[in-house]
Structure formats: C-alpha cells, structure tokens
Amino acid sequence: MAALPLPLAQRTSTTRRRRPARPGVAVLTAVLLALAMLLGAGGAANAHDALTGTNPAEGAEIEVLPPSLELTFTNVPSGIGAQVQVLDESGADWADGPVGIVDRTATQPLRVGAPAGEYTVNWRVVSSDSHPIEGTFAFTTLQGSTTVPDSVSTAGPVDTQEAPSSETQAAGVSDFPWSIVLMIAALVAIAVALALTARKRLAGK
C-alpha cells in the first residue's frame, strides 16, 4: 500500500530542518570576529602617549627661569596643535613663540624679564595616535628675569622654530597606523571573496 503524502506544513518543516547552513555565513562571521579582535589589539597598541619628564621638574625650586621649558614624552608628539602656557602668579604668560618638537621632546621658548615666584605650566599636544593629551604642573623661581641663550642675538628676534615644526609634522604623519588599515582591508576583501564563492556553490546545487 502506497504511503500517504505528508501534509504541506510537515513537509515544509522537514525541508527546513534538513537544509544545511550556508557556509558563506559561517565564514563571514569568523572573519568579522577576527577583525574585531584585530581592532581591539590595535587600539591597545596605540595607547596615548604619556609625559615622562619636564625641565624644570614638577615642584622644583630653581634659581632663575631658564630660556626655554622642555617636556619629554613616551613617543614623538605631533607639532600640529601643540600649546604650552607658562603663567606667573599674576596670570601673565611668559611663553614666547610656537612649540618646537625634536624627537620626543617639546620645547617652549620663554621671554626674558620674568619675575621671581611660582609658575604654572599648562600644556596640550597631539599624541602620536592623533588624540590630544594635556596636563599641568608648577615650579618656583627664586630670582627674576631669564638668561638669554648664547645662540640668540640681542640685535633682534631669531626664529628657530621652522625646522623643528616641519620635522614634527612629518613624524606625526609617519606614525599613522597604516599597517592596521592594510590588514583590515585585506580581511574585508577575503570575507567578500569567500562569501561570493559560497554563493556560487549554493547556486550550482
């Protein structure tokens, strides 16, 4: 005796249970998970730079204000957007000209004629990972005025910031994580290729 055909609802349910999972979906999911792990690792590797030291040092008591103030970081910061304020007790800013950056050190020239007393330094630079970082510290001078660098002529101002600024901008561009961008692009291309291959295989069945 011939078996009776299954009802439409049961046949549909059976067909759905037997349909294999698409391999392209599984491959795409695996690639996306790998991409997420890569981005997480890249973010950890590109942590913000940190200030490692200053001259004058934080809380120091020095004889006289030096001709320039230095800040040293864990990496080469960008010269774009770098700002340093050196404020006396009255709030006057004794910073003179733009910040110069050579290697990992940012240098802020100072004006002559500064008074004795406590100074507050407010600094802000763009980290090598393109994120701004900032901070503040203070020190005290026992005497007024500053010493004039031997390389600076008293006949007129000498601009020595052009070369360091250019070097800094080049360093900031070279610090961009191009390797991570290329790896991400390669993973996306692989995911698209695998998905298209899986779709063609399913269409041929």
Query: Quick one: pLDDT band at residue 145, thresholds 50, 70, 90?
Result: low
CA distance 173 to 118: 37
User: Is there a single domain that holds both residue 117 and residue 183?
Assistant: no
Question: What's the rounded mean pLDDT across residues 15-41?
Answer: 56
The token duo for 149 is: 């660098």
User: Is there a single domain that holds both residue 104 and residue 76?
Assistant: yes
- Overall pTM surpassing 0.95 (yes/no): no
**204 DSSP assignment:** H
User: Is there a single domain that holds both residue 57 and residue 156?
Assistant: yes
Residue 19 falls within a domain, yes or no?
A: no
Question: What's the rounded mean pLDDT across residues 110-125?
Answer: 96
Does residue 67 have a cis peptide bond before it, meaning omega lies within 30 degrees of 0? Answer: no
Instruction: With a cut of 50, say whether residue 35 has pLDDT above it.
Output: yes
Residue 144 falls within a domain, yes or no?
A: yes
Residue 8 falls within a domain, yes or no?
A: no
Instruction: Give the per-residue pLDDT at 165.
Output: 41
Q: What is the total count of domains within the chain?
A: 2
CA distance 68 to 94: 10
Instruction: Give the per-residue pLDDT at 110.
Output: 96
**101: containing domain:** 51-174
Instruction: Give the per-residue pLDDT at 40.
Output: 53
Region for residue 59 given its phi and psi (left: phi exceeds 0; alpha: psi -120 to 50; beta: otherwise): left
Instruction: Give the per-residue pLDDT at 190.
Output: 81
Instruction: Give the per-residue pLDDT at 168.
Output: 39
The token duo for 106 is: 């940012």
102 Cβ contact partners less than 8 Å away, ≥ 6 residues apart:
164, 167, 168
CA-based max dimension of the chain: 118
Instruction: Give the per-residue pLDDT at 24.
Output: 55
Cβ–Cβ under 8 Å, residues 195 and 49: no
**In this predicted structure, which of 6-10, 29-33, 177-181 has the lowest mean pLDDT?**
6-10
pLDDT in tens, 191-205: 777 878 777 777 776
Which residue(s) pair with 87 in the sheet? 93, 120
